[in-house]
Amino acid sequence: MYQDKTLVCKDCGKEFVFTAGEQEFYAEKGFQNEPQRCPECRAARKAASRANKEMFVTTCANCGGEAKVPFQPSDDRPVYCSECFAAMKQK
């Protein structure tokens, strides 16, 4: 049903392939538009937006170590470091 398409990145001008699998994924998620940036430029843009986020330092409710989180922690809910959070998700 879907066929690979060659698109041009609007940031760097490089051609990239929008695969049939990616097109199917976009359709399943209900995305209407094709990607306008190559995977490298998308990753760079995503990383830049993360770099600008303010991070808050708190204490992990599980191990007592330092936890950096992108939200202002409050006393009414526990906050976990990355390692403890990942371990809890696997259970």
d(CA 90, CA 47): 26
Q: What is the pLDDT of residue 6?
A: 97
Segment-wise mean pLDDT, segments of 10 residues, the chain, 91 residues: 95 97 95 96 88 86 92 91 89 72
Question: Domain extents for the chain?
Answer: 5-51, 56-90
Residues in a beta bridge with 64: none
Q: What is the pLDDT of residue 67?
A: 93
**pTM for this model (two decimals):** 0.56
Neighbours of 81 (CB within 10 A): 20
Q: What is the pLDDT of residue 9?
A: 97
